[in-house]
Chain A
């Protein structure tokens, strides 16, 4: 009978807490469960806290109770208090992850103890360690089922914190190819240059569709990813972009204004030693190997 009664009380308390997702203060709690002496109420709350149904916070000097995430409660079942604390800290960090030193500072656990707990949790596949792209030595922990944030993983361009320059290069080339297919339409278009220009433009969404259809990327590329690639094309001088009246950005492949100038057609223009070359000394134009090779082509 008494068991039943406690269950009822717990139910009531939980319902009260669930209704107020922002948390409920002790006085409000007493109002929600009126026909209960405060001693019993405290007892019931303590029990719930122990079982991990409730969380307790201190706000403006008053105690606040909050409902705890059901899922996490299940996961930590059977874990001891330290593990729970660590787990909670990691959970709070969400997909940004949390650094081991931060955990240590916040949990006040000793280093060997903490390592042991983290290992334990990792082996249970509750959390995972993710390497940060910005600092190669820095490892952050987050829940196992979370996708790391872009600032941690670097987005589509990173694989295990290594920048995939080849992937970027390939995409860069494919985007350019797509733009090139259209670019010729501006040339002597019988319907006039403005129509031609419009036909030679491509929006980022079109490019993204083209790339996705090609199926070269295992990762799903967002439009903003494609925009980054298109921007590299602009920095390569192979494309230009304009804004349409409706605010969308369009891209067009262009050619450089002049063919390669004379300086890069002669060996000296690309010679790494040009600044060391002089009339006398070790490096002279008279017996320059590069020059002779170029002449004998």
Chain B
């Protein structure tokens, strides 16, 4: 709930939902929760617009309401607003894991926020009916949908319950039941989408995706630290972890090696078959503490230490940030202080092997940027000139992470702002391009002659084409950077998620 977060949320809402929603969202962010009348008053927007905005926000889970008696307050959910920029990653994840159908389903569902299964599948099927490349059939779509529901990437949306004598609905979470969709009914619905009577609504389960992201980070880290096979072992461990422990547990329940061996038979890594125990041992000792030997029963048991992993990864992020901002010498000091817990200035100089002056300067710089903290120790309460105080430097990881997160927010905001600037600067050219494309697309559909299509295409002059290509490249660069920043934020939030 910081200033930077507020700026970022406003920027994102502006981009995805427009200015009016941004105004309402910003107002809610600043004041916490408030009723509609207050929002109308402070934003100066007409009541209908405010209601419309709130509807949009609530539909996409960006806001919620709290009812106390007849009184209803609305509240923004900033963390969910941030998820809006993560959408491309969800889609990519789906595409690589389950293929195009899954991607389309998730995309449609993200756009609709909530949707009934039948309607969702029918809409997609109708949309891509004529698309020969994709070659979609309602049957494969249905199967994908069911497997997604089984894997919990999608879940049932909460159901509104209205108590008697009250007009305020109460949202109740329901357990997801994997539906049994009838192919024939779906076929019929395709022909006649208006009379779909399916009233079980579905939505995307973000948490499941986040688990995937987390696993991915951990596996990649192991691969970097040891080798591919170790990454594979990590994957198997995480797989087993889901069977026996809560997904976000700080530490998984013990996983017996025999189970791992069983599942390792499915992979084709020869090294893994021969040296599973050895890999586990090396990972335990040199894998930065991602796993821990928990016992000897059943040929040895291992725990996945997710919390430790998050801490290590966050430290790595901070190291990178310090290295890039203040240089590798500063990173050395930063790591040194972290390793020694509490350390005096002189000891830093001795261990870091840096010239005194440089060392001092870098230490103070780190202090200035709030990556490290200082704890003065005085023998007596009175401050006297002769007595030299002892100053102990240390890293408050939690605070350093917050500093880093704020910087991420600020950077994301700036990128978003730059993007807006770019789009507005070249708005006319972009508009023109869009129009030309639509016309050309239409002409192609009507299969008009190549000549006339070219005529339309030539309305874009070469300098305009050049400019547009450049703008497109820049926009792409900005989106890539946004996604990278989001990955960064994910690690930070993962760490902060553990109490």
- Give A residues with C-beta under 8 Å from B: 157, 162-163, 165, 168, 172, 186-188, 190, 192-194, 197, 228-229, 231-232, 234-237, 240, 242, 252, 254-266, 268-270, 272, 274, 277, 279, 285-286, 288, 291, 295-296
Contacts and interface: CB of A to CB of B under 8 A. Distances in A.
A295 B477 contact: yes
A262 B478 CA distance: 12
Nearest to B226: A186
Interface of B: 7, 217, 220-221, 224-230, 271, 274-275, 278-279, 281-282, 285-286, 288, 312-313, 316-317, 319-321, 323-325, 328, 331-333, 335-336, 339, 351-356, 358, 404, 407-408, 410-411, 413-415, 417-418, 421-422, 474, 477-478, 481, 483-489, 491
B411 A194 contact: no
Contacts of B422: 295
Given A262-B484, A295-B477, A269 B224 contact: no
Interface centre among B226, B408, B415, B418 (most CB of A within 10 A): B418
B484 A261 contact: yes
A269 B487 CA distance: 14
Given A234-B339, A236-B332, A256-B224, 18 more contacts: A193-B229, A193-B281, A232-B332, A235-B351, A237-B319, A240-B286, A257-B224, A258-B220, A258-B313, A262-B408, A263-B317, A263-B408, A263-B485, A264-B323, A272-B325, A285-B417, A288-B414, A288-B418
Contacts of B413: 285
A188 to B, nearest CB: 5
Contact of B319 (A192, A256, A296): A256
Contact of B321 (A197, A240, A259, A263): A263
B353 A260 contact: no
B250 to A, nearest CB: 18
A236 B335 contact: yes
Nearest to A259: B224
Contacts of B478: 295
B488 A232 contact: no
The secondary-structure label for the interface of chain B is helix
B407 A258 contact: no
B421 A274 contact: no
B321 A192 contact: no
Contacts of A236: 328, 331-332, 335
Contact of B488 (A234, A235, A237, A263): A263
Contacts of B418: 285-286, 288, 291, 295
B488 A277 contact: no
A258 B339 contact: no
A232 B408 CA distance: 29
Given A268-B410, A269-B325, A286 B353 contact: no
Name which of A190, A269, A288 has the most chain B CB atoms within 10 A of its CB: A269
A243 to B, nearest CB: 11
A190 B421 contact: no
Contacts of A234: 339
Given A237-B335, A268-B414, A270-B325, A255 B282 contact: no
B414 A277 contact: yes
B226 A231 contact: no
Contacts of B487: 261-262
A192 B316 CA distance: 28
Q: What are the 5 closest A-B residue pairs judged by CB atoms, nearest first?
A: A262-B484, A268-B411, A285-B414, A262-B488, A262-B485
B444 to A, nearest CB: 33
B162 to A, nearest CB: 43
A165 B355 contact: yes
A193 B227 CA distance: 9
Contact of A262 (B221, B224, B228, B481): B481
Nearest to A192: B275
